[in-house]
Structure 1
Amino acid sequence: MNSDLLALTEIDIFSRYKEVRQQSIRLCQPLQPEDYVVQPIVDVSPPKWHLAHTTWFFEQFILTPYFPGYRVFNDQFNFLFNSYYESKGNRMVRTNRGNMTRPTTEEVITYRNYVDEHLLKLPHLLDESARQQINYLIELGLHHEQQHQELLVTDLKYILGHNPLFPAYNDRAPLAKGNLMGTEEYVSVPGGNYSIGFQGSGFHFDNEEGYHQVYLADYRLLDRLVTAGEFLAFIQEGGYQNADLWLSDGWAWVQENKIISPHYWHQQEEQWYEYTLSGLQPLDLSRPVTHVSYYEADAYARWRGKRLPTEAEWEVACRLAGYEENFHILSPANFVEAENFHPQALQTLSTSSVPAQMVGDVWEWTQSAYLPYPFYQRPEGALGEYNGKFMINQMVLRGGSCATPESHLRITYRNFFQPDKRWQFTGFRLAEHC
Structure 2
Amino acid sequence: MSTIPEQNPLLELSPQDLRAHAAAALTRARERSVALTDAVDDEDLVRQHSKLMSPLVWDLAHIGSQEELWLVRDVGGREPLRPDIDDLYDAFQHARADRPALPLLGPAEARAYVREVREKAFDVLETAPMEGRRLTESAFAFGMITQHEQQHDETMLATHQLRKGEPVLHAPEPPRAPARKLPAEVLVPGGRFTMGTTAEPWALDNERPAHEVDVPAFVLDTAPVTCGAYVEFLESGGYHDQRFWSEPGWAYRQEHDITAPRFWRREPDGWWRTRFGVRERVPENEPVVHVSYYEAEAYTRWAGKRLPTEAEWEKAARHDPESGRSRRFPWGDEEPTAEHANLGQRHLRAAEAGAYPAGASPLGVHQLIGDVWEWTSTGFHGYPGFAAFPYREYSEVFFGPEYKILRGGSFGTDAAAIRGTFRNWDYPIRRQIFSGFRCARDPRPGEAG
- TM-score range, shorter-chain basis? 0.7 to 0.9
TM-score by length of 1: 0.87
CA contact (8 A) 1:325 1:411 kept: no
- Corresponding letter in the other structure for 2:109: E
Partner SS, residue 378 of structure 2: strand
Instruction: Give the corresponding residue for 2:34.
Output: 25
Q: Deviations over 1:162-221 (max 9, x none)?
A: x2x5x2133457667768999962111111222211131421010011322222222111
Instruction: Give the corresponding residue for 1:231.
Output: 230
CA contact (8 A) 1:178 1:345 kept: yes
- The structure where helix makes up a greater share of residues is 1
Instruction: Give the corresponding residue for 1:61.
Output: 70
Instruction: Give the corresponding residue for 2:151.
Output: 147
Instruction: Give the corresponding residue for 1:205.
Output: 204
Structure 2 unpaired stretches of 5+: 1-12, 321-329, 444-449
1:355 has 2:359 as partner: no
Cα distance, 1:109–1:275 mapped onto 2, change above 3 Å? same
- Aligned-pair CA distance for 1:408: 1.7
- Aligned-pair CA distance for 1:363: 0.4
CA contact (8 A) 1:180 1:285 kept: no
Identify which range, 389-398 or 17-26, moves more after superposition. Answer: 17-26
Q: Could you tell me how far apart the structure 1 residues matched to 2:24 and 2:194 are?
A: 34
Q: Deviations over 1:323-378 (max 9, x none)?
A: 3356526833111242x121111366989941111111000111111111111122
Cα distance, 1:99–1:280 mapped onto 2, change above 3 Å? farther
Cα distance, 1:240–1:142 mapped onto 2, change above 3 Å? same
Q: Could you tell me how far apart the structure 2 residues matched to 1:12 and 1:362 are?
A: 27
Instruction: Give the corresponding residue for 1:333.
Output: 341
Partner SS, residue 70 of structure 2: helix
Matched ranges for 1:183-198 at <5 A: 185-198=184-197
Cα distance, 1:272–1:180 mapped onto 2, change above 3 Å? farther
User: What is the aligned-residue RMSD (CA, Å)?
Assistant: 2.9
Q: Could you tell me how far apart the structure 1 residues matched to 2:226 and 2:86 are?
A: 44
Instruction: Give the corresponding residue for 2:140.
Output: 136
Instruction: Give the corresponding residue for 1:300.
Output: 299
Identify which range, 188-197 or 348-357, moves more after superposition. Answer: 348-357
Instruction: Give the corresponding residue for 1:375.
Output: 385
Identify which range, 369-378 or 291-300, moves more after superposition. Answer: 369-378
Q: 2:420 aligns with which of 394, 411, 416?
A: 411
Structure 1 unpaired stretches of 5+: 85-90
TM-score by length of 2: 0.85
Q: Could you tell me how far apart the structure 2 residues matched to 1:276 and 1:286 are?
A: 16
Identity %: 28
- Corresponding letter in the other structure for 2:440: A
Q: Could you tell me how far apart the structure 1 residues matched to 2:266 and 2:161 are?
A: 19
Q: Could you tell me how far apart the structure 1 residues matched to 2:67 and 2:53 are?
A: 22
Cα distance, 1:69–1:191 mapped onto 2, change above 3 Å? closer
1:156 has 2:163 as partner: no
CA contact (8 A) 2:73 2:80 kept: yes
Cα distance, 1:410–1:347 mapped onto 2, change above 3 Å? closer
CA contact (8 A) 2:170 2:348 kept: no
- Aligned-pair CA distance for 1:415: 0.7
Q: Could you tell me how far apart the structure 2 residues matched to 1:358 and 1:127 are?
A: 35
- Aligned-pair CA distance for 1:68: 5.3
Identify which range, 128-137 or 271-280, moves more after superposition. Answer: 128-137
1:76 has 2:60 as partner: no
Q: Could you tell me how far apart the structure 2 residues matched to 1:231 and 1:146 are?
A: 30
Cα distance, 1:181–1:290 mapped onto 2, change above 3 Å? farther
Instruction: Give the corresponding residue for 1:120.
Output: 122
Instruction: Give the corresponding residue for 2:325.
Output: none
Instruction: Give the corresponding residue for 1:422.
Output: 431
CA contact (8 A) 1:364 1:398 kept: yes
CA contact (8 A) 2:25 2:416 kept: no
Identify which range, 320-329 or 27-36, moves more after superposition. Answer: 320-329
Identify which range, 145-154 or 14-23, moves more after superposition. Answer: 14-23
- Corresponding letter in the other structure for 2:353: L
- Corresponding letter in the other structure for 2:259: I
Cα distance, 1:224–1:261 mapped onto 2, change above 3 Å? same
- Corresponding letter in the other structure for 1:391: F
Aligned residues: 417
Cα distance, 1:13–1:282 mapped onto 2, change above 3 Å? same
Q: Could you tell me how far apart the structure 1 residues matched to 2:234 and 2:178 are?
A: 20
1:402 has 2:403 as partner: no
Partner SS, residue 106 of structure 1: helix
CA contact (8 A) 1:366 1:395 kept: yes
- Aligned-pair CA distance for 1:99: 3.1
Q: Could you tell me how far apart the structure 1 residues matched to 2:62 and 2:191 are?
A: 44
- Corresponding letter in the other structure for 2:433: Q
- Corresponding letter in the other structure for 1:83: A
Cα distance, 1:125–1:400 mapped onto 2, change above 3 Å? closer
Identify which range, 398-407 or 37-46, moves more after superposition. Answer: 37-46
Identify which range, 244-253 or 209-218, moves more after superposition. Answer: 209-218
Identify which range, 24-33 or 289-298, moves more after superposition. Answer: 24-33
Q: Could you tell me how far apart the structure 1 residues matched to 2:283 and 2:181 are?
A: 15
